[in-house]
Structure 1
Amino acid sequence: MDEFDEIIASERDRDPDLAVIEAGSRTLRTQGGPAAEDAVPARPADPAVDRALRDVETELSKRWGETKLDPSVVRIRALLDVLGEPQQAYPAIHLTGTNGKTSTARMIEALLGAMDLRTGRFASPHLQSITERISVDGAPVPAERFVEVYEEVRPFVELVDERQPYRLSFFEVLTGMAYAAFADAPVDVAVVEVGMGGTWDATNVIDARVAVLTPIDLDHTDRLGSTPAEIAVEKAGIIKPGATVVLAQQPVDAAAVVLRRAAEVGATVAREGLEFGVLSREVAVGGQLLTLRGLGGEYPEVFLPLHGEHMAHNAAVALAAVEAFFGAGAGPAGSEDRRTLDPEVVRAGFAAVSSPGRLEVVRTSPTVILDAAHNPAGARAAAAGVSEAFGFSRLVGVVGTSGDKDVRGLLEAFEPILTEVVVTRNSSHRAMDVDRLAALAVEVFGEDRVQVEPRLDDALEAAITLAEEEQEYAGAGVLVTGSVITAGEARVLLGRAGGSGGR
């Protein structure tokens, strides 16, 4: 992803559209009851801390994104060298893939936390606050700590800037901050998501004993490749010699690339559907009930408070990653070496999982669901999850996308489940022009099913009004999707900006 563009979009307080978003939220958040406890931090209550965090965001936003520089880990290695190699202070689980990274990382984090391990998690992009990118003990670091970490690493960042042909990028600085914060905490294990790709991603200076590859599909094709196999070459670059690779179900050509890379570096591979997987699943109130087969054995009656078959597969991958981290399932079946995790701890960990912006219910009467799907594969998974978990007789979509995505493919994936669609735009300068989006939507849905509302608050109001026309509110809903930024801004509008987060 273009991290520079993401941070510009997150600078909502300096975007003219944010005034509209914040004003609209005062109206929208009063319409309907609250949902579950928020898992995304609000802006700091202390004005001085809030100003300091905004200043840090402003400074970071002036840095280039990774895609504006030649692919390289030279700059991040130089930064970590002067910081004293903080990434070597703890073991790590490293994740890449096209979809499912954040949810899988959150599940890994929750499982490790249930085992009383102190975790650090580095994620991107953020939904609402930049502090979400660096979590310790299952919660985003407080704004005060985020500012402190930036101030601690800034002299070293400036030193490296002076020595390199190009300054460190936005994402490289954040990566250095995360690795330093984890060492200072200190954490017992770091759970690290790549920003984009793998081989040349700034996070790939960490020597992770477990490499997780979530499903690979087409996205960022202009930068990573035009086929799953080409994209897999870049993503397989996170596999280190001697590591364990946890491989989600993949297209055959992508899987072949990963297996070849693993063989080249002497890594062990655990494959979903062979060494581990989902044995059974059934829809339950508030989520689903799973039986998972891990590397060390079976784990029945696992409640996962997330919707969709794709989340069940993410859970299987997360479980295998944690088992691999502890060496579970290392021996032959029936041997004492074939260790398993405590099933009660596994159940407790999964029961505590949250994943904001991923089929997240943020309002009732009518039900409003947020999903950050931004490519066709993610949209197909979200559409299937909504169809399975909710019995809507009428579902209105609010769609705001980025202009550099396969928007037609995304709209086509959602078309079968949406009665109408309200097209809009978020505050990012990357957002697709609403008239262009409307034209595509008309081609996919037909003119009579498309409504245009350039402002996101107006789009939410329009969609809620359409849903309320259904006589039985329980049969009507609104799905807000198309972009992480759209989901995050809708979350603000609907009054879900508070809360300290956590597992």
Structure 2
Amino acid sequence: MSEQPPYDPDESADPDARFDEIVDAETDRDPDLAVIEAGSRTLRARAGGPAGDAVPARPADPEVDAALRAVETELAGRWGETKLEPSVTRIAALMDVLGEPQRAYPSIHITGTNGKTSTARMIEALLSAFELRTGRYTSPHVQSITERISLDGAPISAEGFISTYEDIKPYVEMVDAAQEYRLSFFEVLTGMAYAAFADAPVDVAVVEVGMGGTWDATNVIDASVAVVTPISLDHTDRLGSTPAAIAGEKSGVVKQDATVILAQQPVDAAQIMLKKAVEVDATVAREGMEFGVVSREIAVGGQQLTLRGLGGEYPEIFLPLYGAHQAHNAAVALAAVEAFFGIGAEHTRTLDPDTVRKAFAQVSSPGRLEVVRRSPTVVLDAAHNPAGARATADAVAEAFGFSRLIGVVGASDDKDVRGLLEAFEPIFAEVVVTRNSSHRAMDADALAAVAVEVFGDDRVVVEPRLDEALEAAITLAEEESEFAGAGVLVTGSVITVGEARLLLGRG
């Protein structure tokens, strides 16, 4: 067996020596900025410095917290999510020695580029409303690693996470010893999720791919429903440089005789998906053809929708999320659940409309156009690629009507940051560039260099530390009385958003 290098932080990253300083609150400052200062202390204490990973919300019990840290440390010693050997050989071996837990329940498998997690949450809410016990596996997490494995709509407890890891650890070590490479971080988490779902037990699992489809670790399930959210360019070094190439990889989740719920796609990507469906005798339902959004209106706290499902229309649906993209995610989620319950083109019945309305009204998606503060309004959104950024920019312009918007952007080094910034340029009056605590974070000065090319020098502020970037943005939004409708949008990375949530008191 070849030994994997540990999942070390990038030692070449510029460590901000001030990251571990205690920031003293000043009594004459904005009291909400004191929240940032308090959160900053917590962030630095919990992250262990600028090279730490995303900051989880820690358990209150010190012993449980220590045990969870120990598990996280062991997982972090494996290949991270950005380093992989494209194969399902290792995860299949793990499933074999665990007794194939992923076959103990039916599954809905979700792939695509953007909208996977929000769609998964909507599917989960709908299934739960129809009194099914659900398991949901999504990635990455916003604040706590336990978020990735959810039971009955809530993250698995820290105790449950720890016990699940300890239960499968001997089998993980057995597979490690027999394979050329040890199981990766994501592969072990996937094994934990499938084992936890079987142990619960759940009635149905809602599973989001980590990356791609064919060789993704989640792809040891045979889901009866495969969902494909909009495909665009992301992870091009691993998945391909065109939507068609990426669709080819993602089409691997479509299994024999399954139902494919296909969101609106680029033409070449749709063609690839349809070809795969023909090859495996899958049934395809296409957004805009068999289902879709009939109408949408802006409403207080979200939007009012009429959705057309596979069996008929569902009017008067309130969705407490912003943006046209979330309305389309809702249509996809509804069709997926209809397909799971056996409602298709040949049926004229619908799901109970009142139950559907109740489910959508309870949907939440942390870090997706999430308002975490008022006066000025601070919104968090985890957009991290150009397509996601364009959807977010459109939604912000539509739903908030800011007179002046300040951006706070911290992105990962492997993303199309120019495309991301160009998507936000029309709506940002100024942008504060920063970095999160991940080893994958782009250096703030390097990000600033790209931002200056997009925005011009006079619209770019550089604050390498996230707490100071938030403070600077809030100050800019408040500095002139004529901008009473000013706001702040924090974006660029799930990790940036998760750490901002903690700094702003939402952790």
Q: Normalising to structure 2: TM-score of the pair? A: 0.90
Distance 2:83 2:408 in 1: 31
What per-residue deviation string (whole Å, max 9, x for no partner) do you get for residues 224-279 of structure 1?
00000000000011000000000000000000000000000000000000000000
**Is the counterpart of residue 223 in structure 1 residue 238 in structure 2?**
yes
* Partner of residue 459 from structure 2, selected from 432, 449, 457: 449
SS in 1 for 2:488: strand
Asked if the contact 2:137/2:148 (under 8 Å) is kept, the reply is yes
Q: Which moved more, 1:15-24 or 1:405-414?
A: 15-24
Give the structure 2 partner of residue 37 of structure 1: none
Q: 1:220 to 1:263 in 2, by over 3 A?
A: same
Asked if the contact 1:362/1:369 (under 8 Å) is kept, the reply is yes
Q: Which moved more, 1:469-478 or 1:379-388?
A: 469-478
What per-residue deviation string (whole Å, max 9, x for no partner) do you get for residues 51-110 of structure 1?
000000000000113654431111101101111110011000000000000000000001
What per-residue deviation string (whole Å, max 9, x for no partner) do you get for residues 312-361 of structure 1?
00000000000000011342xxxxx4331000000000000000000000
SS in 1 for 2:142: coil
Query: How much has 1:202 moved relative to structure 2?
Result: 0.4
Asked if the contact 2:384/2:411 (under 8 Å) is kept, the reply is yes
SS in 1 for 2:325: helix
SS in 1 for 2:139: coil
Query: How much has 1:22 moved relative to structure 2?
Result: 9.4
Asked if the contact 2:133/2:203 (under 8 Å) is kept, the reply is yes
Distance 2:443 2:133 in 1: 44
Aligned 1:232-311 pairs, distance under 5 A: 232-311=247-326
Give the structure 2 partner of residue 459 of structure 1: 469
Distance 1:299 1:474 in 2: 39
SS in 2 for 1:295: coil
Distance 1:404 1:81 in 2: 34
Give the structure 1 partner of residue 159 of structure 2: 144
Query: How much has 1:429 moved relative to structure 2?
Result: 1.5
Amino acid in structure 2 at the alignment position of 1:437 = L
After superposition, the CA RMSD in angstroms is: 2.2
Query: How much has 1:30 moved relative to structure 2?
Result: 3.3
Distance 1:269 1:23 in 2: 58
What per-residue deviation string (whole Å, max 9, x for no partner) do you get for residues 441-468 of structure 1?
1111111111111100000000000101
Q: 1:496 to 1:299 in 2, by over 3 A?
A: same
Give the structure 1 partner of residue 418 of structure 2: 408
* Partner of residue 91 from structure 1, selected from 76, 83, 106: 106
SS in 1 for 2:219: helix
Q: 1:446 to 1:15 in 2, by over 3 A?
A: closer
Aligned 1:77-476 pairs, distance under 5 A: 77-331=92-346, 337-471=347-481, 474-476=484-486
Q: 1:15 to 1:153 in 2, by over 3 A?
A: farther
Asked if the contact 1:370/1:480 (under 8 Å) is kept, the reply is yes
Distance 1:250 1:402 in 2: 26
Q: What's the % identity of the aligned pairs?
A: 77
Asked if the contact 2:231/2:246 (under 8 Å) is kept, the reply is yes
Query: How much has 1:29 moved relative to structure 2?
Result: 6.0
Amino acid in structure 2 at the alignment position of 1:309 = A
Q: 1:67 to 1:411 in 2, by over 3 A?
A: closer
- Which stretches of structure 1, 4 residues or more, deviate above 3 A after TM superposition? 4-9, 14-24, 26-32, 65-69
Amino acid in structure 2 at the alignment position of 1:131 = T
SS in 1 for 2:207: strand
Distance 1:22 1:41 in 2: 21
Query: How much has 1:428 moved relative to structure 2?
Result: 1.1
Asked if the contact 1:22/1:493 (under 8 Å) is kept, the reply is no
Amino acid in structure 2 at the alignment position of 1:30 = V
SS in 2 for 1:30: helix
Query: How much has 1:122 moved relative to structure 2?
Result: 0.3
Asked if the contact 1:210/1:245 (under 8 Å) is kept, the reply is yes
Q: Normalising to structure 1: TM-score of the pair? A: 0.91
Q: 1:328 to 1:350 in 2, by over 3 A?
A: same
Amino acid in structure 2 at the alignment position of 1:266 = D
Distance 1:462 1:353 in 2: 32
Give the structure 1 partner of residue 50 of structure 2: none
Amino acid in structure 1 at the alignment position of 2:456 = G
- Give structure 2 stretches of 5+ with no counterpart: 26-30, 38-54
Asked if the contact 1:28/1:493 (under 8 Å) is kept, the reply is no
**Is the counterpart of residue 478 in structure 1 residue 488 in structure 2?**
yes
Query: How much has 1:17 moved relative to structure 2?
Result: 7.8
Amino acid in structure 1 at the alignment position of 2:183 = L
SS in 1 for 2:248: helix
SS in 2 for 1:429: coil
Q: 1:314 to 1:297 in 2, by over 3 A?
A: same
Asked if the contact 1:95/1:214 (under 8 Å) is kept, the reply is yes
Amino acid in structure 2 at the alignment position of 1:443 = E
Distance 1:18 1:52 in 2: 25
SS in 2 for 1:205: coil
Q: 1:132 to 1:29 in 2, by over 3 A?
A: farther
Q: 1:468 to 1:250 in 2, by over 3 A?
A: same
Asked if the contact 1:308/1:388 (under 8 Å) is kept, the reply is yes
Amino acid in structure 2 at the alignment position of 1:105 = A
Distance 1:388 1:21 in 2: 39
Give the structure 2 partner of residue 334 of structure 1: none
Distance 2:69 2:498 in 1: 18
SS in 2 for 1:204: coil
SS in 2 for 1:307: coil
Q: 1:146 to 1:267 in 2, by over 3 A?
A: same
SS in 1 for 2:218: helix
Distance 2:179 2:267 in 1: 41
SS in 1 for 2:35: coil
Aligned 1:29-68 pairs, distance under 5 A: 30=35, 42-65=57-80, 68=83
Amino acid in structure 2 at the alignment position of 1:181 = A
Distance 1:55 1:167 in 2: 19
- Give structure 1 stretches of 5+ with no counterpart: 33-39, 332-336, 498-503
